[in-house]
Structure 1
Amino acid sequence: MKRPGPLLTLLAGLLLGLFMLTLNMTTGTKTGSSTYRKSPSPTPTGATASPAPTATGTTASPTSSRIPDASYSGRTDDGSSAVAVSVRDGRAIAYFCDGHSKESWLKGDVKADGGMKLTGGHGAVLNGTLEDAERIRGTVDLDGGHYAFTARKAVTGTALYRATATVRGARIDGGWIVLADGSQVGVVDRDGSPSAAPRIDPATGAVTVDGEHLTANPVVP
């Protein structure tokens, strides 16, 4: 019997190769393409708006209410003298006189609560308090005397007048307090010699001193 020849061996090898190729195509593993996954973008961080600042207005303290500009006048409790105080822009000027020979001009600041300490010539000191914007109560110390007083707000707006001039070679300095009832208390000083002052016209300030026509002006700080 003849052995298969080389042709048969070659054919068998081709069949085996074809079989293996077919098997690989039907059962082979499919290689998928790689998928790129984009990293998630970071959450944008926006600028966080700061809370709107609370508007802060200027708050007046309970004692910082504005002291009204006004003029006050009145008598001492013992009736011997008179006091007038003129207030403007937190400053005060006052006049104390007995209508004969004792007098003093005083000045100083008015505190936010209405308190005041005014000082003047002859060592005079006025301590007072503005009460309810209608009156000033206080005391004046002068030449060893202690005088309590109440000065009420002037209805006409002016209660204190002053005139200075030179008359017949003498230096004249006069002060007048006009009270609520229309009466007046004043002193005219002539070169250091005080005496009772003549009456003025409150409407115009006109006054005659030693035959000379002068004008007494309202006093403000």
Structure 2
Amino acid sequence: MKRPGPLLTLLAGLVLGLFMLTLNATSGTKTASSSYSEASPSASPKAPAKTSPTPSVTPSPTPSPSKPAVANANYAGRTDDDAASVAVSVRDGKAVAYFCDGRYKEAWLRGRVNNNGSMKLTAPNGAVLDGRIEQGKKITGTVKDEGRPYTFTADKAVKPSGLWRATAKVRGAKIDGGWIVLPNGRQTGIVTRDGKATSAPRIDPETGAVTVDGQQLTAQPVTP
């Protein structure tokens, strides 16, 4: 029997080489696929949704307190028949007035002042003052007391002119005194002792000092 020749050996080696080559190629493909799969980046995370910025709210400015249309001032004058004096003090849209004849007739009146300068003041005893401030220089109007009207004009007054009042207890009696000091220095006032009215002594308009029944009191300027 003839031994295989060199040709058969060469052929066997060639077949073996082709087999190995095929095996390597297959292995290399798997390895590359696997490597590519492992190296592939995972799905990128979703970007967060954009949110609209919350609109800022600008606070409304705090309104400043409105100033009254009528300026603060004091007024003092006489009735047209010269029977009594009238004084009015205006502060922050309010007014207090005193009507006094210097003997027994008097009334303390209070109320509001309208933006146009008009006012209607009333007193506990029923007296009513209807007046109007004219250009900030004077008040003209009428005081109706006990059914009788008194027209008046009260000019703008600067301290010590104006309206003064003192209250105290003297020798067991309740004292209530009111004074109107006119710009020319003339004074009109009444002091009541437990409700009984009499003419008032003069006050010192610079200090408000006054002596009532032997006791010194201090009158103060009156404001609403």
Question: TM-score when scaled to structure 2?
Answer: 0.69
User: Does 2:140 align with 1:137?
Assistant: yes
CA distance in 1, matches of 2:197, 2:178: 11
**Structure 1 unaligned regions, length at least 5:** 1-57, 59-63
Structure 1 letter corresponding to 2:138: R
Question: Given the alignment, which residue of 203, 209, 213 partners 1:210?
Answer: 213
- The residue aligned with 1:220 is 223
**Structure 2 unaligned regions, length at least 5:** 1-62
| TM superposition shift of 1:192 | 1.0
- The residue aligned with 1:119 is 122
CA distance in 1, matches of 2:110, 2:162: 16
Q: Is the 8 A contact 2:68 2:115 kept in 1?
A: yes
Q: Is the 8 A contact 1:106 1:118 kept in 2?
A: yes
User: Does 2:151 align with 1:167?
Assistant: no
- The residue aligned with 2:185 is 182
Structure 1 letter corresponding to 2:77: G
Number of aligned residue pairs = 159
Matches within 5 A, 1:1-221: 66-156=69-159, 158-221=161-224
SS in 2 for 1:121: coil
Structure 2 letter corresponding to 1:90: G
CA distance in 1, matches of 2:72, 2:184: 21
CA distance in 2, matches of 1:155, 1:163: 19
| TM superposition shift of 1:145 | 1.3
Sort the Cα spacing of 1:213 and 1:185 in 2 relative to 1 into closer, same or farther, 3 A. same
Q: Is the 8 A contact 2:160 2:181 kept in 1?
A: no
CA distance in 2, matches of 1:220, 1:137: 19
CA distance in 1, matches of 2:71, 2:200: 30
